[in-house]
């Protein structure tokens, strides 16, 4: 299986960020905007994309493993976020 990592995209500054369900949401620096997984490393997003979504986002690797392992880690983070906050992270459209 292909190795990769589960990551979060986090706000680098307090401010308004787009919400995939419409409008914007206020995030504090360090808050999660999205959980995801990749086998492409830091090449998953262009720097210009991360800067275009609000003040700026930073990719933070959180778990390394096989493709199956990182999918499980991603799902766990998304569900945990939902149970804590009552909603998905602002840029996660579905539970996956």
Q: Is the pTM of this model over 0.85?
A: yes
- 3-state SS assignment for residue 44: helix
The per-residue pLDDT for range 49-78, each reduced to its tens digit, is 888 887 889 999 999 999 999 999 999 999
**Tokens 């086998």 identify what position?**
39
The per-residue pLDDT for range 18-53, each reduced to its tens digit, is 999 999 999 999 999 999 999 988 888 888 888 888
CB proximity list for 90: less than 8 A, separation 6 or greater: 17, 18, 19, 20, 21, 25, 27, 33, 34
Q: What's the longest Cα–Cα distance across the chain?
A: 39
């Amino acid at each position: 299986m292909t190795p990769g990592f589960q990551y979060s995209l986090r706000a680098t500054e307090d401010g308004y960020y787009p919400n995939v369900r419409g409008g914007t949401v206020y995030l504090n620096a360090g808050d999660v905007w999205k959980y995801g997984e990749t086998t492409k490393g830091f090449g998953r997003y262009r720097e210009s994309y991360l800067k275009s979504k609000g003040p700026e986002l930073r990719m933070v690797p959180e778990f390394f493993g096989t493709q199956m392992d990182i999918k499980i880690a991603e799902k766990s983070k998304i569900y945990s976020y939902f149970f804590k906050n009552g909603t998905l992270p602002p840029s996660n459209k579905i539970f996956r």
